[in-house]
Amino acid sequence: MIDWWRRAWKQRREPAFGSGGDFSVLFVCTANVCRSPMAEALLRHRLRERGLAGQVAVDSCGTRVSPLRQRPDPRAGQVLRERGIESPLRRSRALREVDFSVADIILCMDRDNLEQARALCPGAAQERLGLVMEQAPGVSLAEVPDPYYGNLEGFRRVADLLDPAIVGLLDRIERWLREMA
């Protein structure tokens, strides 16, 4: 697994997503309407549970976002509400070049998203890129499948897959924040 924490902090150039925080996480999927907004909401929820909401900035984006800038898929919102989690209300946005200088860690949902992010990413920031499932201890699945063309059960499966990755990521962020204090 890639260990970004200390190097990422030293390379920061801009504040995290304009919302403050000691650390910033960007989730990337294809259209920014299913997987990455779910990951964003799950991490925000866990951060609030652990009292770290003000210390970590979280955002999400997509590699192929519609010019219409859609809202998150209603099925994603339903699954999040079933778990007592607020769904993001913002519209989808595309991965931008500036994201690579703002985000401390950029976690993609699948290898295709990772390849597209790498193609846009300047060389110095390449080590900040990874797959979100690399953060899930003991889980051998590398990618989060896109549930868009499926049913509600596909969205539930995505949430089930993302949950251990989010917990693993948050555990690492907490350790990093303690070390940097």
pLDDT (tens digit per residue) in 6-34: 444 444 434 445 455 788 999 999 999 99
pLDDT of 39 > 50? The answer is: yes
Candidates 29, 34, 61, 121; catalytic one: 29
Taking the C-alpha atoms of residue 47 and residue 53, their distance in angstroms, rounded to an integer, is 5
Please tell me the predicted confidence (pLDDT) of residue 20. Answer: 59
| Catalytic residue flag (residue 111) | no
Residue spans of the domains in the chain: they are: 5-173
pLDDT of 51 > 50? The answer is: yes
| Catalytic residue flag (residue 34) | no
Taking the C-alpha atoms of residue 115 and residue 74, their distance in angstroms, rounded to an integer, is 28
Please tell me the predicted confidence (pLDDT) of residue 12. Answer: 43
pLDDT digits (tens, 9 = 90+) for 139-173: 999 999 999 999 999 999 999 999 999 999 999 99
Candidates 35, 44, 46, 75; catalytic one: 35
Phi-psi region at 21: left, alpha or beta (left = phi > 0; alpha = psi -120 to 50): left
**Longest CA span, the chain:** 44
| Catalytic residue flag (residue 121) | no
> Per CATH, which fold does 5-173 belong to?
Rossmann fold (3.40.50)
Q: Given strand 105-108, what is the order of strands in its sheet?
A: 56-62, 23-29, 105-108, 129-131
Please tell me the predicted confidence (pLDDT) of residue 178. Answer: 87
